[in-house]
Every structure is written in C-alpha cells, then in structure tokens.
Structure 1
Amino acid sequence: MSTTEQVQAVEGVRPSKQRGLARYVLILGGLSAFGPLSIDMYLPALPVMTSELGTSDATLQLTLSAFIVGLAIGQIVIGPLSDAIGRRKPLIAGLAIYVVASVLCALSPTAELLIASRALQAVGAAAGIVIARATVRDLFSGIAMTRFFSMLMLVNGLAPILAPIVGGQVLNFTSWRGVFVVLTVFGALLMTVAALFLPEPLPMEHRRPARFGPIMRTYGGLLRDRNFVGYALASGLLFGAVFAYIAGSSFALQDVYQLSPQQYSLVFGLNGIGIVALGQVNGRIVGRFSERALLRFGLGLASVGALGILLATSLHLSLAVVLPPLFLLVSSIGLIMPNATSLAMAEHPRTAGSASALLGVLQFLVGGLATPLVGLGGQGSAVPMAVVMAGFTLAALVAFLTLPNRR
C-alpha cells in the first residue's frame, strides 16, 4: 500500500482534509525530523571538531546538551502560542530562526560560540517539532492518530539513516562546517515549502488566548493527568537512552571499536532502518492490538536490548556482539514513540499545542540530562554509554507500568 493509499485509508480524519494528506505526511515528517537531522548529521565530525576547536570531548558534547535544552525551551513557548494564533505563523518564524542560527554554527570560531549558536538553532527547530505533533492532533483522533504517527516514522526514520551518512560524505569534501551549511539549506527549503503548501489546520473557533494564567493552568492540568505524565515520561526516559546513544556512540564506536566515520554512519543508518520497519509494522497492527499493549511490547524490547548492550560492553565483547542489542534498542523507537505520543495527546484535543510542547519538553529535557552523564564516564570505554542507556530504559518501563491508568 502506497503512502497516499495508507493516508486515505486512515479512519477518523475530517472529510475536508482527505485530499492531499500525503503532502501532510511529507511536510510534517520533515518538520518533526528537524531534531534528528540537526543532531545526527554532525556526529561523525565530533572527534575532528574536538581537535580543530581545541577543546575537550566533554565540552563539545555540550553542543548536544545545548541543542536539547533549546528544544525544550522553544517548545514550551511555541506550543501555547500556536494554540492562540494558529500553527503557521510560529512555524515560519521558527524556521527563519533555524536558518540564521545554522549559518552562525557554520561560522563559529570557538566551541563556546558554537554551543550558543546550537541553542538558538534548537529554538527554531522546536517550532517544527511541536507544531508537527499538534497539527496531527488537529487532524486525527484515536487509532487514526496512532497510524498517522506511525506513517511519520517513514520520514522520521530516514532522518537518522541519511543524516550521519550525509554528514560522513560531506566530511570527504569539506570540513565539519559544511555540515551546518547543508542544514541551512534544508531549513530554508522546508521554510519555503511550509509557507507555500501547508494550510492553517487550527480553526479560529478552536484557538485559546495566549495569557500567562490560562497557559499555566493548562500546563498544571496536564501535569496532574496521570495518563499524560505516565506516557510522556515513558517516551521521555526512552529518549534519554537514545540520546545517551547519540552522545556516546560516535566516540565509542569510532575510538573504542575503531570504526571509520563512514562505517559509523552505516551502523547508525542500519539502526534507523529498524526504526522505519517497526514503525510501519506498528501502523499495520494497531487496532488488532491496543496502543498500550504495543507500547508495553516496545518497552520490553528496549529493555532487553539495553541490558544486552550493558552486558556486552562490561565483558569487553566484540563489536559483533554489541551491535545486535543496540539495533534492538534503537529500533524499538518505531513501536514506542507513535503509541506513547498518541496515548499522551488523546484526551487533549483543544490544547494540542500545549500538550505537544510539554510532551516534547519532558522528552528533550530528559535527553539533555542523559547526554552529559555519558561524558562524565570518559571516552576510553563504551561502558558509561551502556550504563546510562540501561538505566533510562528501565526507568521508562517503570514509569509506564506504574503511572497511567490501565484502561
């Protein structure tokens, strides 16, 4: 079944939105892929950047932490704003910020300026991520929403596949600064496409005033919702494990296991194929199995993979033993994220922007906490990365089992 046929077969979408929904898959997928693209594309260059900028591995990893924190802050502001004035205006403004910040990243002469530019870049990227999720909630409900989030994994999964491969190839022809030039072009292209082809999905009658008091009450209500918090924490803690992988794998696989930048890119891309595959399986079987059952199964797979990585690295086993459980953990994203996102946002159609923002904040703040933890363990071993990944994955499973109502 083609993407267009899958979209048109989804139940629960407004009839007026049936035409051109494949366009939504591509545009919203591109917007939600901003985070993975902006993080993953320069990973093969991290060891080279450390040398050229005259800094330490731990300092350079702050470019990841700054980006993740910037994503969190940007979402918490842009989400309620999009509930008030619509999705398009904050989106276009955010993409413009992203383009400018990407240029600054490419020109940064020091690690400190690069860290600051990455934080600004993340604020712009946050607009794409939070508004993509909110737009899906504007258009869909129930199983249809889960299926659409699964279809977005087609595009989202391509981001971690292509980003490090493109980054590795760019390094064959230019310096690490060329990676940020590519991101600048991508941001400008997506801004143009969104401005021309993405209609406003939020009707005027569904908008809410952007006043501080109501916004805080909305966030307070979300934080008191055990279902929302449970599913958001489950996905957020799993994000922490994934960001530990993102932050540590470049050094662990290249320095410890002696992979070249191109070999590392291929390993990273193979894991991305797993995300795409499980995401599409999820879209086909949701309905036969509940979103909660699929989420539980995905977290179980992730836990098995995380414990396998920890055991393999602790015993100093070969790369051939490390890679299968790593693939299992990363691939589980294809099952976990569509179901957790749909379950978290299901009961909040009138505050989709705020719910999307808080969901993203919990995910990326936890990811921001995980990233420096990997650096604290040093770069001479893959064990610190494995310990952080296992800890966050098991915590995600505990959050899922204890917080949401089992209904």
Structure 2
Amino acid sequence: MTDRKPGFFKRLFGATDTPAPPETRPEPADNPPHPVPPTPEPPHDAVPAPEAVPFPGPPETTPDYVEDLEELAAPPAAPPPPAPQEAPRQGWFARLASGLKRSSDQLTGSIGAVFTKRKLDAAMLDELEDVLIQADLGVDTALAITETLRKDRYERDVSGEEVRAVLAGEVEKALAPVARPLLIDAAQKPFIILMIGVNGSGKTTTIGKLAQKFSDEGKSVMLAAGDTFRAAAIEQLQVWGQRTGAPVIARPAGADASGLAFDAVTQARAEGRDVLIIDTAGRLQNRDELMSELEKIIRVIKKVDPSAPHATLLTLDATTGQNALRQVEIFGQRAGVTGLVMTKLDGTARGGILVAIAKKFGLPVHFIGVGEGVGDLEPFTAADFARAIAGEG
C-alpha cells in the first residue's frame, strides 16, 4: 500500500512524524520580522492552484502597512535650495560691449594676426584694408584707417593695440554726425511714427520697446497694428499695449492696412495722444507692389495730417550685412526714411555695417538694439559703439 502524505491539517500545524522547524522567509531590511508559515503542498489529486506571487511583491501589490513603514523610515526631505540672487543689471556700455563681442572678436582677432610687433609696411596696410572691408566697415572707413596709420606709423613698429585705437577713433568720426536722438515735437499732437522694414527686422518688438520708453517719460502713447498680414503680429502688439498701458488700434488679419492707419490717426487726434506708432507689414525692398502699398499708407496718413508721418523709422537687421545698404537705399526712395534703428547687433559678427551705412547715407541713427529686453534698445552713441566694436573696455 502506497504511503500517503499527512493530511493538510497536520502538515499545516507541523504535526508530522518528523517535525521540522517552521520555515521563514527573509524580510526586506527596512521592515520588522514577519514570519511566514510554510506553504503547504496540495494533495496529489488536487487541481494545481495558480502560482502565488512572492511576498512582498511588486510595488502595486505591496500591502499598505509596508508602504507606511517605508515612508516613516525615509529620511526627512531636504529643504528647497534658496532662490538664486538676481545678478545686478549691467550698465548700457557693458551690455553693448557684450552684444558687439562677436563683431569685435572677429575684427580684433584678424587685426592681431596682421600686426605682430613688426615694422608697418605696404603689405601690412593692404592686409589691414582687406580685413576692414570684410568686416563690412566700408571702403571709405577702411581707407581712412589705413591712411592714418600710413601717415603716423609707416616704417615704425606697430602693435594690434595701437591699430585698434586708430580703428576706434575713425569709427567714432564716421558715426558722430549720425548719432542723433529721436526728438518728439510736442507741437505735433499726435507725433506720428511710421515703422517700416523687411520681414523679421524686429519692427513690432522695437515698437513695444519705444512705447515703453515713451510711457516711462510720461507721454500718452497709442499703437496701431498695421501689419495686417500676420495675426501673430497683431497679437504681439496687443501684448505690448497691455504691458505699456497703450491702447492698440487693430483690425482682423487681412484688413486693409491703409484704412487702419487712417482710423488710427483720426482716433489719436481725437483723444489728444502725444505719440502714435504705426506698425507695417514686413516687405522686401525688391517687391514693387509691396512698396507701392507702403506708399499708399503714407498718402492716406497725409489726408488726415499733411505733415505726417513726422518720423519714418527703418528697422535694420544687422545680420543681413551688405543687404542692409540696399534696404536703406530703396526704402529711402519710396518711403522717405527719416531715421534708422539697428537691431540684432548681438547676433552677428559684422556689426561694422552700421559704419558703412552712416558713411554712405548720413541718415540719423536713433537707436540700436543688442538683445530682447526692453533695456536692450538704447539711443545710439558714437563713442560707445566705436569703443565696443574695437574691443576697448
């Protein structure tokens, strides 16, 4: 007769012929001891049960009390680190020098490669002239710098530092006549500013920054969202209006820009606003039909105020380099540009293009921008710009 295993009840309580000590399973290190009774074997004729999940199991099956104990045993959370102290804002020259660093590094690096403490000769002057022209300073400025060196230091030892000093002096001479502030004539109420330029030159952002400056000066400002081709431009200007407390005259995207300009001028006059700034859609200077639309906007403005616009500001993206010269020429012919705003000088290694523009056209440069912040658009100063682009602290 085949021996049968002890029944389940006896095996459960260890009542067998050869009693064995109860089995225990190792517990997690951070839990109290928890003896587990031996798992009984089912009778040979029983239906096998599904395989049991070993204790304590995956996280989703861990009993609540285990989780509670683990939570109690966990070390207290470290306090959050203190908020970083905001660095003091740099002065304007420091921000200008930082913004022009790419331009000055490339220019001064090239100059340093030409002048290595040896006597100045014709070959070195030719190399320097090439460097200055490649930096977009323009032929006139390049010739002026090399001629100054030729007169004062020819056949003498000359260092890169001395050349940079001459560079800064000649750049300041070229820019001083055009460094003129934008003056708001209080007799013109409103003083109407028309912002023009190619796509992506920063017109709308510049308008917002100017609105902030004029508001800080206590002037009553109104904005007109004349870039009706882009819904994003309308929304962007409305955000600036909220920030500066300036009402924004806007129409749905696709509306007639000249009609909007007419309404804006009429309303600004009726409300006695000090300044009205009108945005326009970006347009390439070689698209005749788009330039004709700009001329139409100006004609419509003059129907309300024959003396307007009182300032037509062309925003120039410094990263476009030599193309900026062509923009000044065409926009000047078609729209009567009265002043320039140079933006994105911090995004290019050829900030010298401003010098070439000043020498060729002589238009006032009212503002330059070296960043996205409101304080990164400042009135243009020839001496500061010359020092920054020459790498002089």
**TM-score interval, smaller chain:** under 0.3
Greater per-residue strand proportion: 2
Which is greater in Rg?
A: 2
Q: Under a length normalisation based on structure 1, what TM-score does the superposition of the two structures give?
A: 0.22
Greater relative CO, 1 or 2 (CA 8 Å, sep 6+): 1
Greater per-residue helix proportion: 1
